[in-house]
Amino acid sequence: MTWQFDEMGEFGSEADADRWAKRNNIAPQDVRITRKGEGVELEVRRSALGDSGSRHNDRRDGRRDGFF
């Protein structure tokens, strides 16, 4: 099975992205963090974001981008 991930934004460090995911109650297995330039990009497994698209384009915690 191929998992689909949604981009949550860019963060200054892996620790920042990890804190954001924990604050939003996202399990570590639902998170993918990759290096991107000076920072990192955080992606979250789509199934971890909710059901039936009720949060379409909602990046939780009221943010559309990460912290850079």
Q: What is the mean pLDDT for each group of 10 consecutive residues in the chain (68 residues)?
A: 85 94 91 92 85 49 50
Domain for residue 67, yes or no?
no
pTM over 0.85: no
Domain for residue 28, yes or no?
yes
Domain containing 19 equals: 5-49
Name the 3-class secondary structure at 16: helix
Angle (CA) 20-31-65 rounded to 5° is: 45
Domain for residue 15, yes or no?
yes
Instruction: For residue 31, give the nearest of 53, 51, 13, 47 by alpha carbon.
Output: 47
Greatest extent of the chain over all pairs of C-alpha atoms, in Å: 35
Domain for residue 31, yes or no?
yes
For residue 13, the 8-state DSSP code is S
Query: Residue 62 has what pLDDT?
Result: 47
Name the 3-class secondary structure at 59: coil
